[in-house]
Amino acid sequence: MEKKWWKNAVVYQCYPKSFQDSNEDGIGDIQGIIERLDYLQDLGIDVLWICPVYQSPMDDNGYDISDYYHVDESFGTDEDLDRLIGEAGKRGIRILMDLVVNHTSDEHVWFREALQDPGSEYADYYIFKEGVDGGPPNNWRSHFGGSAWEKAGDNRYYLHAFSKKQPDLNWENPKLREEIYKMINYWLDKGLGGFRIDAISNIKKNFQAVTFEPDGEDGMCFVGKGIANQAGIEVFLSELKERTFQPHNSMTVAEANVPEELLDHFIGENGFFSMVFDFSYADIDIPQTGEWYKPTNWTLQDLKRNMFHSQLETQKRGWGALYLENHDQPRSLNKYLPEGDINQYSTTMLASLFMLLRGTPFIYQGQEIGMSNILMDSMDDYNDPATKDQYQRAVNSGMSSEQAFELAGRRSRDNSRTPMQWSDEKNAGFSGAESTWLKVNKNYPEINVASELKNEDSVLNFYKKLIQLRKSGKYKNILTEGTFVPEETEDQNIIAYRRVSAEGEILAIHNYQNKESKMVLDGSGSWDKIFSNYGEMRTEGNHIILRAYEALALHCTDNCK
């Protein structure tokens, strides 16, 4: 098998709870995914990442695992999962599972034992500390709000970077690490393509600085300060790789906001992972402290700068994972486009901007048909614990409930977790149940797979063409290996870049605005149009005329500067 087989892959991310329900209980399941494999094969993807399907009380929709070895009943059976791996394989699709090893569920048997008996060996699988002055050990605030410590006895607290039902594991304990490696190898031996690895930069904790300066109205400080990318993490990550992924030649994509100086270790030639997700332009709309209710005033120039910077820094070191959406983000159309400008052109322009970059693209379910954010009626409609927390924090900071609802909703993770829109039938073809676990977006009669398959100019067919382009004989190597080179443009609202390899050069141009513009094209070279989302390309002398939100890709056939 080729060593870096994942470089030319296109990945599709599936949120099983919302993809396809096969047994009419309103919740998506593994059999449902199997039924949609032909669709995914036709789309042209090579790898399918499925969010966690392990046994879980579902406090955080499966990111709270109570048994790493078995499938949760709501998703089906262990045999269903084996069948999914086999059926996907027959279609040339490899499965990536989610690996959640920063924490377990508080209902995992290890934690139950640890809680019950502080003297048990399992107590050392987690992080317990003594409280201070009648309160928690320090002022760390969890990702989902409130103290990152939960009381577990008289003056005994345990650490949870996420919800209190997600206690953090103690990676300092070699016995725990062995348990984790055994579990990972169990799954890899089943023939998985690899893993998407959750919250992995948090596994090393630093308790030297106990209490930090508060960074919020609650007097607390973001837990990341004490647990993200702490010195010594590299020892755990090398061991993890050597004992598991490396011998299997797995694809690994880490959810890790890595500081530039550490990037080499993460994604360099002998890095810990195949690639990492970078947050620099996904989180452009919120402050680093993660408060959704304090949206930033980002501009197109910020987006361009962050995107280019991320491309340039990543290519200096290794390989990157590209994404516009995932299950933790709102829909990209609502994030990256002005409200009145969401249409066929702007949607396909975003698709092109993203799909021609250097790295492995991850397409999130529904992104390929242009799904958008949902308008909920009240806070009761939300399921996501983070949305509820952000709403509360906004209210606590003095905002009106209407404003807090609007701002928490705009960024809510439930925007991307609504059921997949397959058709204009009941529940968008997702489920035959009376109601679904999360509301279906009301726009499904217009935005759905069935109608887009019939329309040659649909967003879905545009995505298909982009995927094919990355795989086609002619452009494959340029779009895989080609260096990313920013293209200077006079009009700053055009985002253009080249992909340059020994085999040729592609120029990708995106007129990121709702008005016509133009760009000078070097007259001495000769360029072939690969595509425009408007169909024909317009030129005037040595200028290209770009219509509102036009995306244009050109192939240099001779002497281009």
- Binding track, positions 159-178, relative to ligand NOJ; x by CB under 6 A: ---x----------------
Given CA atoms 202, 206, 210, 214 in this order, what sign does their dihedral have? Answer: negative
Q: Is 198 labeled as catalytic in the residue annotation?
A: yes
325 binds ligand NOJ (CB under 6 A): no
Q: Minimum distance between the CB of residue 350 and ligand NOJ, rounded to whole angstroms?
A: 22
Q: Minimum distance between the CB of residue 495 and ligand NOJ, rounded to whole angstroms?
A: 27
Q: Show the DSSP H helices in 331-445 as ranges.
A: 332-336, 344-355, 385-396, 401-411
Query: What is the C-alpha to C-alpha distance for residues 303 and 309, in angstroms, rounded to an integer?
Result: 10
- Cβ proximity to ligand NOJ, 46 vs 198, nearer residue: 198
Q: Minimum distance between the CB of residue 225 and ligand NOJ, rounded to whole angstroms?
A: 17
Q: Minimum distance between the CB of residue 407 and ligand NOJ, rounded to whole angstroms?
A: 19
Query: What is the C-alpha to C-alpha distance for residues 453 and 430, in angstroms, rounded to an integer?
Result: 17
Structure tokens at 50: 């499925």
Catalytic residue selected from 29, 59, 98, 198: 198
Query: What is the C-alpha to C-alpha distance for residues 363 and 13, in angstroms, rounded to an integer?
Result: 6
333 binds ligand NOJ (CB under 6 A): no
Q: Is 255 labeled as catalytic in the residue annotation?
A: yes
Query: What is the C-alpha to C-alpha distance for residues 309 and 301, in angstroms, rounded to an integer?
Result: 12
- Cβ proximity to ligand NOJ, 100 vs 466, nearer residue: 100
Residue 247 Cα distances to 8, 99, 178, 180, angstroms: 21, 17, 16, 16
- DSSP SS3 for 168: strand
Residue 519 Cα distances to 62, 102, 533, 559, angstroms: 48, 49, 17, 18
- Cβ proximity to ligand NOJ, 165 vs 439, nearer residue: 165
Alpha carbons within 13 A on the beta-carbon side of 143: 19
- Cβ proximity to ligand NOJ, 71 vs 199, nearer residue: 199
Structure tokens at 67: 């048994």
Q: Minimum distance between the CB of residue 326 and ligand NOJ, rounded to whole angstroms?
A: 7
Binding test (CB under 6 A) with ligand NOJ, winner from 40, 84, 152, 199? 199
Catalytic residue selected from 46, 72, 168, 255: 255
Binding-site size, ligand NOJ (CB under 6 A): 9
Residue matched to tokens 């508060």: 214
Q: Minimum distance between the CB of residue 199 and ligand NOJ, rounded to whole angstroms?
A: 5
Applying the rule CB under 6 A, the residues between 82 and 111 that interact with ligand NOJ are 100
Applying the rule CB under 6 A, the residues between 143 and 162 that interact with ligand NOJ are 162
**φ/ψ (deg, to 5) at 222:** -55, 130
63 binds ligand NOJ (CB under 6 A): yes
- Cβ proximity to ligand NOJ, 46 vs 255, nearer residue: 255
Q: Is 392 left (phi over 0), alpha (psi -120 to 50) or beta?
A: alpha
60 binds ligand NOJ (CB under 6 A): yes
Closest residue to bound ligand NOJ by CB: 63
Q: What is the DSSP letter of 142?
A: P
- Cβ proximity to ligand NOJ, 255 vs 505, nearer residue: 255
Binding footprint of ligand NOJ on the chain (CB under 6 A): 60, 63, 100, 162, 198-199, 255, 327-328
Catalytic residues: 198, 255
